[in-house]
């Protein structure tokens, strides 16, 4: 059996596939495959290992209905039209449960980097502009004892909340569709409304998936309700914030700072005003980008493929969200 991968895949997943006798073709160019190239490559492969690139849409799937599985190297599955896949009988799988710590670490890093303007100061040193002009210039703000608001207190949100509670004694509030009783018990987290989250958070960190409901949920109306001293963190999906509204909110002082591991759109274009703001920190979607986590993800992606090839139940299907 043969797998086509849209990116070079981490070693441990590759080895797992090869030990199972699977032939793996990896797209090694830095540019994304065109839709036509992806179809052409998948025509003579039995599975797709999607590790980034253009969205996998219905048009692709209608040309590649022979695939035994579309195995994502990610926990998020917004880069695939899962509804279409389910209607066309194409299994889609993801890699849950292994990237919560790595991604929460990036959210935590961004919170600190923004609060102390770290990326701005680093850039000043690179530009040979060392130090402060006066004792009150370029000051940051402190995190100790402040309120962390989590939108989407799932696995990643829980780790972020625990890091912040344990390290900085932060008060945890959250807004979820359902209660997170473990967080309430272990972290003394308090469930609040979306309005309450906006009004009470000193740091508001987003940890939801990107869906029709969450798309651009953080827009002008939301930012207007946040504290002018608040920091907005998004290490989930760029599509959850409206970037034009975010830029305006920062420029007009309606919020204090923003830390983004995801942008809208991606990649962020040169000259984006966010890149010149002292209270903004931007990273290129590296939430899961550690040796340990990417290897763990690739092992799961490989296991999903092997199960599909062996006709066994898929360990991590996502089609059920459309209950077909």
- Give me the active site residues, please: 237, 266, 285
Residue 135 CB, nearest approach to ligand 8YV (Å): 41
Residue 233 and residue 235: Cα distance in Å, rounded? 7
Query: Is the Cβ–Cβ distance between 6 and 51 less than 8 Å?
Result: yes
Q: Does 73 bind ligand 8YV (CB under 6 A)?
A: yes
Closest CB to ligand 8YV belongs to which residue? 76
Q: Does 75 bind ligand 8YV (CB under 6 A)?
A: yes
Which lies closer to ligand 8YV via its Cβ, residue 155 or residue 200? Answer: 155
Query: Is the Cβ–Cβ distance between 69 and 308 less than 8 Å?
Result: yes
| Contact residues for 272 (Cβ-Cβ < 8 A; gap 6+) | 247, 263
Residue 165 and residue 145: Cα distance in Å, rounded? 8
x-or-dash pattern for ligand 8YV, window 45-64, by CB under 6 A?
------xx------------
Question: What does each C-alpha distance from 224 to 20, 106, 111, 125, 150 come to in angstroms?
Answer: 54, 26, 20, 34, 18
Residue 75 CB, nearest approach to ligand 8YV (Å): 4
Q: Does 6 bind ligand 8YV (CB under 6 A)?
A: no
| Contact residues for 160 (Cβ-Cβ < 8 A; gap 6+) | 104, 107, 108, 148, 150, 205, 207
Which lies closer to ligand 8YV via its Cβ, residue 79 or residue 191? Answer: 79
Find the binder of ligand 8YV among 201, 288, 303, 304 (CB under 6 A).
288
Which lies closer to ligand 8YV via its Cβ, residue 74 or residue 295? Answer: 74
Binding site for ligand 8YV (CB under 6 A): 51-52, 73-76, 99, 287-288
């Amino acid at each position: 059996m043969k797998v086509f991968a849209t990116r070079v895949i981490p070693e441990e997943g590759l080895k797992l596939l090869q030990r199972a006798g699977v032939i793996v073709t990896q797209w090694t160019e830095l540019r994304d495959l065109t839709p036509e190239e992806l179809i052409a490559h998948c025509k003579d492969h039995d599975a797709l290992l999607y590790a980034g690139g253009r969205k996998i849409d219905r048009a692709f799937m209608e040309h590649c209905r022979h695939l035994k599985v579309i195995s994502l190297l990610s926990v998020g599955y917004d880069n695939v039209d899962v509804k279409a896949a389910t209607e066309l009988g194409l299994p889609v799988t993801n890699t849950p449960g292994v990237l919560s710590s790595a991604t929460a670490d990036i959210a935590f890093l961004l919170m600190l980097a923004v609060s102390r303007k770290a990326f701005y100061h680093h850039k000043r040193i690179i530009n040979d502009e060392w130090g402060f002009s006066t004792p009150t210039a370029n000051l940051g703000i402190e995190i100790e004892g402040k309120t962390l608001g989590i939108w989407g207190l799932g696995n990643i949100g829980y780790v972020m909340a625990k890091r912040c509670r344990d390290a900085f004694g932060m008060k945890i509030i959250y807004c979820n569709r359902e209660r997170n009783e473990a967080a309430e018990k272990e972290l003394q987290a308090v469930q609040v409304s979306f309005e309450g989250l906006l009004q009470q958070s000193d740091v508001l960190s987003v940890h939801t998936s990107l869906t029709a409901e969450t798309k651009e949920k953080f827009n002008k109306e939301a930012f207007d309700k946040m504290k002018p001293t608040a920091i907005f963190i998004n290490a989930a999906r760029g599509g959850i914030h409206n970037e034009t509204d975010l830029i305006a909110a920062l420029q007009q002082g309606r919020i204090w700072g923003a830390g983004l591991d995801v942008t809208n759109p991606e990649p962020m274009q040169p000259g984006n005003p966010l890149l010149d703001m002292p209270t903004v920190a931007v990273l290129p979607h590296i939430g899961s980008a550690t040796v340990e986590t990417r290897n763990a993800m690739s092992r799961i992606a490989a296991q999903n493929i092997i199960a599909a090839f062996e006709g066994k139940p898929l360990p991590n299907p996502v089609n059920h969200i459309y209950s077909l």
